[in-house]
Structure 1
Amino acid sequence: MTLEEQLINKTYYKVTYMNGQEGKHPIQVLGDAYLLEQQNDLPDLSFIRYAQGEVYFQYKDFEAAIFKWENIHNELQPWARKNMADAYLELGLVKDAEEIYLSIQPESPSPTLHAEVSLQLFSLYMDQGNIDKADKVLKEVVSLNPDYPNVTEIARRFYEEQEKVQDAVELAVNEAMRTDSLEWFQFVGEYVEKGWTKTYKPEYFKDFIKSVHQVDLKCFEQTVASLWKSFKKGDSYLEWLKVLNHVLSEMEIHKNAVISSLYKEAYVDLIEGNYYIKEISTIIPDHLTNWQRVSVATDKIFAASAILAWSEMFPSSIDLGVISDAEYNICHTEKLDNVLSYCLKLYNSIAEWARSHELEVGQKMKWMVQQLMDSNVQHLMIAGPTGNGKSSFINSVLGENILKPSTSSIVVFKDSDAVDIHEITDTTIKRVEDISDFQQITASQLHTKVIEFGLPCDFFYKNGIAFIDSPSFQGNAKTRNEFFHYLQLADSLIFVLNASVPFTDKECDILLQIQKFAPSLPIYFVLNKIDTIYGEHEANRIIEETESRLSEYFPSAKVFPYSSVYDSGDQLDQLAEFVKADNDHEALQQGRTEKLLFLIRQLITELLERRVKMETDIVNSISWNEDIAGRLTGALHQLKDLEGEKIQHIQTEYQMMEEEIRNEVINTIPTILKGCTDFIKEDSDFRHFHSELNDEMNNRVQDYLHNDILPKYYELLKKWIANTNGEFNQCKEYLDEMCESLNRLYGEDRLKLEFDFRVIDDWSRDADRMTNAVRLEKINILSKNTPTQLLLTGAGKLFGGMKQNRSMLYNKYKSMVDSEDYYEVAVIIANKFLQQFDLFEKGLDRDISMFFHHPLSVFEQIIAETYEKIQSQNDTLQNLRANPESYKDPITLFEVRLRQYEWIKDVGKDVQPIY
Structure 2
Amino acid sequence: MTEEKLLMEKTFHETFTGDTGRNLHPIEVLGAAFVEEQKNEPYDLTDIRFAQGEVYFHCKDYEAAIFKWESVQNEREPWAKKNIADAYYELGMLSSAEDVYTAIQTDGVVLTMEVSLQLFSLYIEREKTQEAYRVIEKALGIDPDYPNVSSIARAFYEGQQDWNNAIELAVREALRTKDGKWFSVLEEYAVKGYITSFAPAYFHDLLIASYESDSRQFRGLVAAFWNSYKVEPALHIEWMQTINTIFEYVQIENHESWDDILSLYKESFNGFMESGHLIHDLQPFMPGLVTNWLKVSRAGSSLLAASAVLAWNDVFSYSLEPGVAEEAEALLIESAEDARFEDVLLFLNRIMAWSESNRVPVGYKTKWMSEQLMDYSRNHIVVAGSVSSGKSSFVQSVLGESIGESEGSTVVYTYHDQPVEVSEIHGEGVRRVESIADFEEVMHREAFVEYKIPSDFLKKNSAVLIDVQAGQRHQDDLASFYPVADGLLYVLNAEAPFNAEDRQVLRRLQEIDQPVKINFLLNKMDKVGVHPDDVIESVERKAKEWFPEAEVLPYSSLEAVSIQRTGVEAFMTRHYDVSPAYIKAERGTKLFYLVRKTLKDLYSIRKNKEIALKESIAKNEDILSRLNGFHNHLGDMQGEKIALIKDSFHERKEAVKKEIRTEIPNILHKCSELINEESDYKNIHTELNEAMNTRIQEYLQNDLMPRYLDSLQEWLAASKHELQESQEYLYEMSSTFNGLFGEERVVLQCDDQVLDDWRRDVSRMGTRAQIDKENILLRFKPAQFLLKSAGKLLGVLPQNKTLLYNQYKRYLENEDYGDITESVVTKFFLQFDLFEKSLEQDIRSFYAQPFHQLSLTIKGTEGEIMEDKELLSEIKADPERYFDPITLFEVKLLQYEYMMKASYQPSQKYSR
CA-CA distance at 1:909 after TM superposition: 4.4
- Matched residue, 1:92: 92
CA-CA distance at 1:411 after TM superposition: 7.8
Greater shift, 854-863 or 406-415, is seen at 406-415
Please list every run of 5 or more consecutive structure 1 residues that lacks an aligned counterpart in the other structure.
498-506, 527-545
Match of 1:669 among 658, 664, 668: 664
Contact 2:381 2:489 in 1 (8 A): yes
Seen in structure 2, the aligned counterparts of structure 1 residues 826 and 479 have a Cα distance that, compared at 3 Å, is closer
- Matched residue, 1:289: 291
- 1:638 is aligned to 2:636: no
Greater shift, 710-719 or 661-670, is seen at 710-719
Q: Where in structure 2 are the equivalents of 1:120-131 lying within 5 Å?
A: 120-131=118-129
In structure 2, the residue corresponding to 1:359 is in which secondary structure? coil
Question: C-alpha separation between the residues in 1 aligned to 2:336 and 2:824?
Answer: 112
CA-CA distance at 1:847 after TM superposition: 1.0
- Matched residue, 2:44: 44
CA-CA distance at 1:878 after TM superposition: 1.5
- Matched residue, 2:375: 374
Question: C-alpha separation between the residues in 1 aligned to 2:576 and 2:732?
Answer: 66
Q: Where in structure 2 are the equivalents of 1:690-729 lying within 5 Å?
A: 693-694=688-689, 696-729=691-724
Question: C-alpha separation between the residues in 2 aligned to 1:3 and 1:314?
Answer: 71
Contact 1:413 1:468 in 2 (8 A): yes
In structure 1, the residue corresponding to 2:463 is in which secondary structure? strand
Contact 2:211 2:250 in 1 (8 A): no
CA-CA distance at 1:242 after TM superposition: 4.3
Amino acid aligned to 2:838 = G
Question: C-alpha separation between the residues in 1 aligned to 2:572 and 2:726?
Answer: 76
TM-score, normalised on structure 1?
A: 0.82
CA-CA distance at 1:772 after TM superposition: 1.7
Question: C-alpha separation between the residues in 2 aligned to 1:385 and 1:784?
Answer: 102
CA-CA distance at 1:304 after TM superposition: 2.6
Match of 1:890 among 867, 885, 898: 885
Question: C-alpha separation between the residues in 1 aligned to 2:728 and 2:392?
Answer: 58
Question: C-alpha separation between the residues in 1 aligned to 2:656 and 2:391?
Answer: 93
- Matched residue, 2:21: 21
Amino acid aligned to 2:843 = I
- Matched residue, 2:822: 827
In structure 1, the residue corresponding to 2:636 is in which secondary structure? helix
CA-CA distance at 1:731 after TM superposition: 2.2
| Deviation string, structure 1 residues 164-213 (Cα, Å, up to 9, x no partner) | 23232222232222222222222222222222223332232222222222
CA-CA distance at 1:468 after TM superposition: 5.1
| Deviation string, structure 1 residues 47-83 (Cα, Å, up to 9, x no partner) | 1110000111111211111110001111211111111
- Matched residue, 1:7: 7
- Matched residue, 1:531: none
CA-CA distance at 1:222 after TM superposition: 2.6
Question: C-alpha separation between the residues in 2 aligned to 1:146 and 1:851?
Answer: 95
Seen in structure 2, the aligned counterparts of structure 1 residues 283 and 847 have a Cα distance that, compared at 3 Å, is same
Please list every run of 5 or more consecutive structure 2 residues that lacks an aligned counterpart in the other structure.
493-501, 522-539, 554-559
Question: C-alpha separation between the residues in 1 aligned to 2:872 and 2:675?
Answer: 94
Question: C-alpha separation between the residues in 1 aligned to 2:33 and 2:873?
Answer: 99
CA-CA distance at 1:337 after TM superposition: 0.9
CA-CA distance at 1:84 after TM superposition: 0.9
| Deviation string, structure 1 residues 781-840 (Cα, Å, up to 9, x no partner) | 458876645654565566566665554344333323322222343223312321221111
Contact 1:261 1:299 in 2 (8 A): no
- Matched residue, 1:850: 845
Seen in structure 2, the aligned counterparts of structure 1 residues 131 and 15 have a Cα distance that, compared at 3 Å, is same
Q: Where in structure 2 are the equivalents of 1:239-278 lying within 5 Å?
A: 239-254=237-252, 256-272=258-274, 274-278=276-280
Contact 1:309 1:896 in 2 (8 A): yes
Amino acid aligned to 1:100 = V
Question: C-alpha separation between the residues in 2 aligned to 1:911 and 1:514?
Answer: 29
Match of 2:463 among 456, 464, 467: 467
- Matched residue, 1:611: 606
Contact 1:202 1:240 in 2 (8 A): yes
Seen in structure 2, the aligned counterparts of structure 1 residues 416 and 711 have a Cα distance that, compared at 3 Å, is closer
Amino acid aligned to 1:352 = A
Amino acid aligned to 1:208 = L
| Deviation string, structure 1 residues 428-463 (Cα, Å, up to 9, x no partner) | 65668999x99x999x999997766554759957xx
Seen in structure 2, the aligned counterparts of structure 1 residues 853 and 275 have a Cα distance that, compared at 3 Å, is same
Amino acid aligned to 1:109 = D
Contact 1:364 1:424 in 2 (8 A): no
- 1:191 is aligned to 2:192: no
Question: C-alpha separation between the residues in 2 aligned to 1:391 and 1:646?
Answer: 60
Seen in structure 2, the aligned counterparts of structure 1 residues 338 and 298 have a Cα distance that, compared at 3 Å, is farther
Q: Where in structure 2 are the equivalents of 1:736-885 lying within 5 Å?
A: 736-781=731-776, 788-789=783-784, 791-792=786-787, 795=790, 805-885=800-880
Question: C-alpha separation between the residues in 2 aligned to 1:724 and 1:472?
Answer: 59
- Matched residue, 2:131: 133
In structure 2, the residue corresponding to 1:271 is in which secondary structure? helix
Contact 1:410 1:468 in 2 (8 A): no
- 1:164 is aligned to 2:166: no
CA-CA distance at 1:416 after TM superposition: 4.4
Contact 1:654 1:720 in 2 (8 A): yes
Amino acid aligned to 2:867 = S
Amino acid aligned to 1:22 = R
Question: C-alpha separation between the residues in 2 aligned to 1:833 and 1:401?
Answer: 84
In structure 1, the residue corresponding to 2:323 is in which secondary structure? helix
Amino acid aligned to 1:592 = R
- Matched residue, 2:79: 79
Contact 1:422 1:429 in 2 (8 A): no
CA-CA distance at 1:659 after TM superposition: 0.4
Contact 1:85 1:96 in 2 (8 A): yes
Contact 1:49 1:71 in 2 (8 A): yes
Question: C-alpha separation between the residues in 2 aligned to 1:877 and 1:698?
Answer: 80
Contact 2:720 2:755 in 1 (8 A): yes
Seen in structure 2, the aligned counterparts of structure 1 residues 118 and 513 have a Cα distance that, compared at 3 Å, is same
Question: C-alpha separation between the residues in 1 aligned to 2:370 and 2:19?
Answer: 95
Seen in structure 2, the aligned counterparts of structure 1 residues 854 and 327 have a Cα distance that, compared at 3 Å, is same
Question: C-alpha separation between the residues in 1 aligned to 2:814 and 2:449?
Answer: 104
Question: C-alpha separation between the residues in 2 aligned to 1:278 and 1:770?
Answer: 84
Seen in structure 2, the aligned counterparts of structure 1 residues 487 and 713 have a Cα distance that, compared at 3 Å, is closer
TM-score, normalised on structure 2?
A: 0.82
Amino acid aligned to 1:342 = D
Question: C-alpha separation between the residues in 2 aligned to 1:402 and 1:155?
Answer: 86
Q: Where in structure 2 are the equivalents of 1:395-434 lying within 5 Å?
A: 416-418=416-418, 427=427
In structure 2, the residue corresponding to 1:843 is in which secondary structure? helix
CA-CA distance at 1:879 after TM superposition: 1.3
Seen in structure 2, the aligned counterparts of structure 1 residues 74 and 800 have a Cα distance that, compared at 3 Å, is farther
| Deviation string, structure 1 residues 282-338 (Cα, Å, up to 9, x no partner) | 2212222222222246753322322222222222322223233333333x4225313
Contact 1:50 1:68 in 2 (8 A): yes
Amino acid aligned to 1:6 = L
- Matched residue, 1:66: 66
CA-CA distance at 1:395 after TM superposition: 11
- 1:656 is aligned to 2:658: no
- Matched residue, 1:530: none
Contact 1:260 1:295 in 2 (8 A): yes
- Matched residue, 1:228: 226
Question: C-alpha separation between the residues in 2 aligned to 1:118 and 1:717?
Answer: 114
Question: C-alpha separation between the residues in 2 aligned to 1:878 and 1:797?
Answer: 101
CA-CA distance at 1:611 after TM superposition: 1.2
Match of 2:112 among 111, 114, 132: 114
- Matched residue, 1:533: none
Greater shift, 642-651 or 180-189, is seen at 180-189
Question: C-alpha separation between the residues in 2 aligned to 1:788 and 1:672?
Answer: 20
Seen in structure 2, the aligned counterparts of structure 1 residues 22 and 415 have a Cα distance that, compared at 3 Å, is same
Seen in structure 2, the aligned counterparts of structure 1 residues 765 and 37 have a Cα distance that, compared at 3 Å, is same
- Matched residue, 1:502: none
CA-CA distance at 1:857 after TM superposition: 1.8
| Deviation string, structure 1 residues 499-541 (Cα, Å, up to 9, x no partner) | xxxxxxxx9xx99999997898799999xxxxxxxxxxxxxxx
- Matched residue, 2:55: 55
Q: Where in structure 2 are the equivalents of 1:583-602 lying within 5 Å?
A: 583=579, 585=581, 588-602=583-597
Seen in structure 2, the aligned counterparts of structure 1 residues 683 and 114 have a Cα distance that, compared at 3 Å, is farther
Contact 2:88 2:96 in 1 (8 A): yes
